[in-house]
C-alpha cells in the first residue's frame, strides 16, 4: 500500500504545485486572493510570493519529469523550508491549545498534514528516478490524483480547522442562517448555531449578535426572525440583536456584516456556523478585510444530511476561492 502511494507522489506534487500556482497568480491579479495561508503561515510580502512561485514551479517541473542537478537541490530545500514552517505552526497551535486560547475536538492541526506531505515530497524529489513516459494512462492518472487532491484539500480544512474554537473578544457575533420550517421553527442546524451564539453572548465576548439569513418567499418565513426569537427566549436582550434578512448566501452575509462593522468602526467578528462551513467563512471574511475568529456550532446530534453538506462545501469552497 505504502509503495503504491509512493508511486503517486509525483502526481500529488504536480497537483499541489498547480494549486500553489493558482494562488500566486490570483494574488498578483487581486491582492488578498491567496488561500495558502490556511495551510502554512509565511511572512507577508514579496519574498514569500517569490518563494511560493518557485515552489510551484519546482513541484510542477518534478511532476512532469524528475528534477536533476541544481533544480533537484532547490526542490528539496524548498520543501524542507515548508516542513520547518509547518513544525513551527504546529508548535504554536499546540501552545495555544495548552494555554486554553483555542479548543478543538480533534487536536491535529493542518500543519501536521503539511509537514508529512512536504517531507514525503522532499524524499521523492531527492531520489533519482527514471524518465517518465507520458501517455494516455499517465494523463488519466494525473487527472485522477489531481481530482483527489482537489477534493482532499477543503475536506482536510473542514476536519482540522473547522472544529477548532477560536473564542476571542469581538465587536459582534455573526450567525449564518439555515433552514426554517414553514411553522417558523428553526431546523436542527440553525438551532445549534443560534444556541452557540447565545452561549458566546452570555460569556460577554461580544455586545451584539448579527442574525443573518434569508426570507422564505414560498412560506413567508424569515430565518433571522426565527433566530432572533430563539435568542430573546434565552435571555438575549432584543437591542443586542441585529437582523440581516439580506443574507441570502454566505457571501452576502459576509459582505453585509463587513459593511455593518465598518460603519461602526468595528474590525473583529466571531463567526458561528458548522465546522464544514468555517473554511469558506474564514476565506470570505479575510478577503473582506475583517479579522475573523471562527466558532463551530456544537451539534446537539449529528445531521442526517451531513455528508451532503460536506460534499457541497467542497464545491462551494472552490467557487468562493475563484470568485471575482
Question: What confidence category does residue 220 fall into, taking pLDDT thresholds of 50, 70 and 90?
Answer: low
Question: What confidence category does residue 1 fall into, taking pLDDT thresholds of 50, 70 and 90?
Answer: low
Cβ–Cβ under 8 Å, residues 24 and 66: no
Q: What is the phi/psi pair of residue 125, to 5°? A: -65, -35
Cβ–Cβ under 8 Å, residues 188 and 300: yes
Secondary structure (DSSP) of 272-286: EE-TTTHHHHHHHHH
pLDDT per residue as tens digits for the range 113-160: 999 999 999 999 998 877 777 788 889 999 999 999 999 999 999 999
Least confident of 82-91, 175-184, 198-207: 175-184
Average pLDDT value for residue range 242-266: 96
* Domain spans in the chain, listed from the N-terminal domain onward: 2-160, 172-321
Domain 172-321 CATH class label: alpha beta
Q: Residue 151's closest CA among 313, 323, 9, 320?
A: 313
β-pairing, 268-273 with 172-176? parallel
pLDDT per residue as tens digits for the range 177-200: 999 988 888 999 999 999 999 999
Secondary structure (DSSP) of 43-82: PSSHHHHHHHHHHHHHHHHHHHS---HHHHHHHHHHHHHH
CA distance to 12, 44, 64, 268, per residue, from 51 (Å): 19, 11, 20, 30
Taking the C-alpha atoms of residue 262 and residue 260, their distance in angstroms, rounded to an integer, is 6
Higher-confidence position of 110 and 135: 110
Cβ–Cβ under 8 Å, residues 114 and 82: yes
Q: What is the pLDDT of residue 219?
A: 60
pLDDT at 288 over 70: yes
Amino acid at each position: 500500500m505504502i509503495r503504491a502511494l509512493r508511486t503517486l507522489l509525483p502526481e500529488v506534487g504536480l497537483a499541489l504545485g498547480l494549486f500553489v500556482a493558482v494562488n500566486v497568480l490570483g494574488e498578483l491579479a487581486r491582492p488578498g486572493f491567496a488561500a495558502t495561508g490556511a495551510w502554512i503561515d509565511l511572512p507577508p510580502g514579496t519574498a514569500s510570493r517569490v518563494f511560493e512561485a518557485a515552489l510551484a514551479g519546482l513541484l510542477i517541473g518534478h511532476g512532469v519529469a524528475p528534477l536533476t542537478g541544481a533544480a533537484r537541490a532547490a526542490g528539496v530545500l524548498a520543501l524542507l523550508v515548508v516542513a520547518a514552517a509547518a513544525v513551527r505552526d504546529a508548535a504554536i497551535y499546540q501552545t495555544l491549545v495548552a494555554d486554553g486560547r483555542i479548543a478543538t475536538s480533534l487536536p491535529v492541526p493542518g500543519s501536521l498534514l503539511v509537514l508529512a506531505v512536504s517531507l514525503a515530497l522532499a524524499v521523492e524529489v531527492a531520489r533519482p528516478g527514471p524518465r517518465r513516459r507520458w501517455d494516455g494512462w499517465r494523463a488519466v492518472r494525473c487527472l485522477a490524483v489531481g481530482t483527489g487532491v482537489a477534493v482532499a484539500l477543503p475536506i482536510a480544512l473542514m476536519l482540522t480547522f473547522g472544529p477548532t474554537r477560536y473564542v476571542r473578544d469581538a465587536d459582534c457575533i455573526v450567525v449564518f442562517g439555515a433552514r426554517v420550517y414553514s411553522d417558523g421553527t428553526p431546523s436542527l442546524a440553525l438551532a445549534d448555531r443560534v444556541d452557540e451564539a447565545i452561549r458566546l453572548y452570555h460569556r460577554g465576548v461580544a455586545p451584539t449578535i448579527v442574525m443573518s439569513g434569508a426570507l422564505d418567499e414560498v412560506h413567508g418565513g424569515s430565518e433571522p426572525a426565527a433566530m432572533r426569537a430563539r435568542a430573546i427566549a434565552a435571555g438575549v436582550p432584543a437591542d443586542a440583536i441585529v437582523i440581516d434578512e439580506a443574507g441570502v448566501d454566505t457571501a452576502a452575509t459576509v459582505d453585509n456584516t463587513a459593511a455593518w462593522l465598518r460603519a461602526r468602526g468595528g474590525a473583529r467578528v466571531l463567526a458561528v456556523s458548522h465546522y464544514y462551513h468555517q473554511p469558506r467563512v474564514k476565506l470570505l471574511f479575510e478577503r473582506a478585510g475583517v479579522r475573523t475568529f471562527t466558532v463551530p456550532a456544537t451539534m446537539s446530534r449529528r445531521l442526517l444530511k451531513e455528508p451532503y453538506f460536506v460534499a457541497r462545501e467542497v464545491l462551494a469552497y472552490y467557487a468562493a476561492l475563484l470568485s471575482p
